[in-house]
Structure 1
């Protein structure tokens, strides 16, 4: 049997590095595909049939997949950490800070106050639309997971007040965040893809915003209506319950809560604006190294922006409202316990996806597909879609597809808008059919109180619809751009 060396997606000395990992045998593209399908099937049986906790099931499946792929036993723990460590590190900071902020807003009565105003402004039947529009605006600079966690208290409060099906309120907001995260810079996937294939970032930004808004406008209302009627789940209490007496109640002004939600948005937009300004300079690195620019960019990094907002919420809703420091500390601590399961299961989803990436399945499938000779716009979409299905990460799927398409783009005579259309097609492919190897799948499942079966029947299909619509829009853009 052959031995195969694979490259790391996240090189890191000894701790996460997979650069020098040697697989004990070469399964080939067909074997790797069969292994991935078998691993997903085992995971489904463990969770749905045997009722094993998702965290344990993901870990067991990840171990079995690593062994079956030929990863040496003495490197199994390292292979598990390859996907788990970066996912957990990224998710933990954002979810923990977002949960603290959400708990402060929920316990103070701020979510209820904002929900009351939103219902008064939009009416009970349209309050969910108002939340969805707010999520779309917040989703421009804020990552999917961070934005969703910050918005959850308002989603919960509106669902309780209106008595509407929870998913009819929750899914439109989640779709808004997802559409922005996938299609529009400054999010990492479209930015990296644009840089790799040489797309104009300004054109990609404008086009991505148009795509995101259209996809949200079409998919969000349909998903809210369909799943709101067919999947009835109670409003989760993971961030507390409005009926719970905490002693933190103060009924803050609507303007105070709105300002608190806008604060991280403004800080992150500041970071985004400075990065875009740097790109116009002759020496971007020198501009970024300017002390005042470096400080402002640091304040706009998502974890730091959320930390600042949490501290402001403690000051305004806690100490400033006459609440004792012990109560503020106790409330912040109470936000962390309930999200432990969410964070661990999400990290384990990243673990499973990381093991699949370590086997090289995404690269093998993508390279095979690239040699088929499909039309370039179709190949761009399918490569990203299949890599997404194989290993879970939308960002990895998009960057992998962009890397393989870079040579095709450089060798072809494509105009600027055609290249942007290719980026949009790859973005569409990277969002499609999120399932058990995607950490975002588990984030939605846990925060929305859905079983794995319910999440597969709803969120997976929603993401698939977003992918198909995004691809159709890309085809239209490609056709128009090719006519000139």
Structure 2
């Protein structure tokens, strides 16, 4: 019965969003109340359960998410992202243009959320494609692979950040393992898949696309943008701080050093919230004040970044409410009992549940959060690596982007593809990336 109730809730969510076109946050709240009633949560506990789900989720990630959005906006508005992309592309040359796009998109993708990175990089991709007389999708596939892999695996992106908080995984460790998993995933789903895609659906590589819907794009003269080194350092600064802290902590635990003031300071600086705040302060200087940009203009960029993610924060909160209802309603405990003594890996189960919910719901973040509500009770009786469970959940939530996902339509329209061509490129790319990811995560689990 609990699984049937969850299934009915998912169907109701799909109907509300897809058929009645209700806002995702409103739909999640409505379904959370309905599920709470059906699961038998006492009436006087329903509202507090939903509030604790929203508060518990947003309380952990709102700071990281908000600071990350501001950092990405400052780097983009100053032309830092443009400088990173164009420098790498010019250094790699025409023959290795795909690999230049992969690396540039990966760096930009770490600093910016998927949609922001996509809108920022697509005009650059189209400009280069025209210059080299090649199809935009030829460069688009490696770009999309890089942006999707950073979105799915690497904090401070909402999915991995939220899931790490729910599972109690160390975000720095998630970041370190995420990069290890991301590199082969982006190579396979990007440049290597590109060769196969040209044979599977050659018509897609004849299209020239249309980005008029993006409106007038901000243009940068290279001499007016920040230097490559300072742009790269600013974009990567939170990642550098978190990784240094994680690596030092691993060395400390391995060698057996005792905690002391130095290690406490390193852990404090490497904490995701602290690292993001320090990185934002650095960006305010390197991308703004150092270039004589007025502080009022810098703060305007920060404000617009927060305004842009307001609804995303509410949707994440709604996903947290749904997750908490599943836990309080006993669905997670039921699944834990169901799989007690089973040989199935929690990593594989998390990936499967997230994949099913992703295909059903469309939203990777909502799918990942809902998965955590079902998987958390299982982890109490498991010695699974929490960072890898986080990555497995994010990996499953990336699979098979199709018509119920906004990303699907963005790719279709920008690159001028038919439905069949979009399925054969973008949907297949996201599936390959997800399957490759879980295989690498399972292999990594053998050695950690």
TM-score by length of 1: 0.65
Tell me the CA shift for residue 69 of structure 1: 1.0
Kept in 2, the 8 Å contact 1:397–1:430? The answer is: no
Tell me the CA shift for residue 277 of structure 1: 2.7
Bigger shift: residues 54-63 or 256-265:
256-265
Kept in 2, the 8 Å contact 1:131–1:173? The answer is: no
Match of 1:199? none
Kept in 1, the 8 Å contact 2:80–2:228? The answer is: yes
C-alpha change, 1:355 and 1:321, in structure 2 (3 Å) is same
Kept in 1, the 8 Å contact 2:326–2:374? The answer is: no
Counterpart pick for 1:260 among 224, 228, 234:
234
Instruction: Give the CA RMSD over aligned residues.
Output: 4.9
Match of 2:266? 296
Counterpart pick for 1:66 among 31, 36, 46:
36
1:243 aligns with 2:218: yes
Match of 1:89? 59
Once the two structures are superposed, residues 176-229 of structure 1 have per-residue CA deviations (whole angstroms, 9 ceiling, x without a partner) of 5535679x9xx959x9799xxxxxxx9x99998765543343234577769995
Match of 2:121? 158
1:12-31 map, 5 Å = 31=1
- Higher relative contact order (Cα pairs below 8 Å, separated by 6+ residues): 2
Counterpart pick for 2:254 among 256, 266, 280:
280
Distance 1:138 1:260 in 2: 11
Match of 2:77? 107
Tell me the CA shift for residue 38 of structure 1: 0.6
What's the secondary structure of 1:252's corresponding residue? coil
Match of 1:384? 350
Distance 1:207 1:340 in 2: 29
1:314-325 map, 5 Å = 314-325=284-295
1:430-449 map, 5 Å = 430-431=393-394, 433-434=396-397
Match of 1:18? none
C-alpha change, 1:470 and 1:113, in structure 2 (3 Å) is closer
Once the two structures are superposed, residues 282-335 of structure 1 have per-residue CA deviations (whole angstroms, 9 ceiling, x without a partner) of 4x6x41xx2222122111111211111111111122222222222222222222
Once the two structures are superposed, residues 128-158 of structure 1 have per-residue CA deviations (whole angstroms, 9 ceiling, x without a partner) of 644544676899xxxxxxx363687655433
What's the secondary structure of 2:397's corresponding residue? coil
Counterpart pick for 1:330 among 285, 294, 300:
300
What's the secondary structure of 1:370's corresponding residue? coil
C-alpha change, 1:445 and 1:292, in structure 2 (3 Å) is farther
Match of 2:360? none
Distance 2:333 2:376 in 1: 11
Distance 1:236 1:302 in 2: 35
Distance 1:35 1:353 in 2: 14
Which segments of 5 or more consecutive residues in structure 1 lack a partner in the other structure? Answer: 1-30, 140-146, 195-201, 407-418
Tell me the CA shift for residue 343 of structure 1: 1.7
Distance 2:320 2:193 in 1: 26
Kept in 2, the 8 Å contact 1:101–1:309? The answer is: yes
1:344 aligns with 2:310: no
Kept in 1, the 8 Å contact 2:80–2:225? The answer is: yes
Match of 2:185? 215
Distance 1:307 1:468 in 2: 35
Kept in 1, the 8 Å contact 2:37–2:43? The answer is: yes
1:91-240 map, 5 Å = 91-123=61-93, 129-130=99-100, 132-133=102-103, 147=110, 149=112, 155-163=118-126, 164=136, 168=141, 169-176=143-150, 178-179=152-153, 188=164, 212-221=182-191
C-alpha change, 1:154 and 1:469, in structure 2 (3 Å) is closer
Match of 1:369? 339
C-alpha change, 1:403 and 1:384, in structure 2 (3 Å) is farther
C-alpha change, 1:362 and 1:463, in structure 2 (3 Å) is farther
TM-score by length of 2: 0.70
1:34 aligns with 2:8: no
Match of 2:132? none
Kept in 2, the 8 Å contact 1:268–1:301? The answer is: yes
Tell me the CA shift for residue 104 of structure 1: 1.3
Aligned residues: 397
Tell me the CA shift for residue 402 of structure 1: 4.6
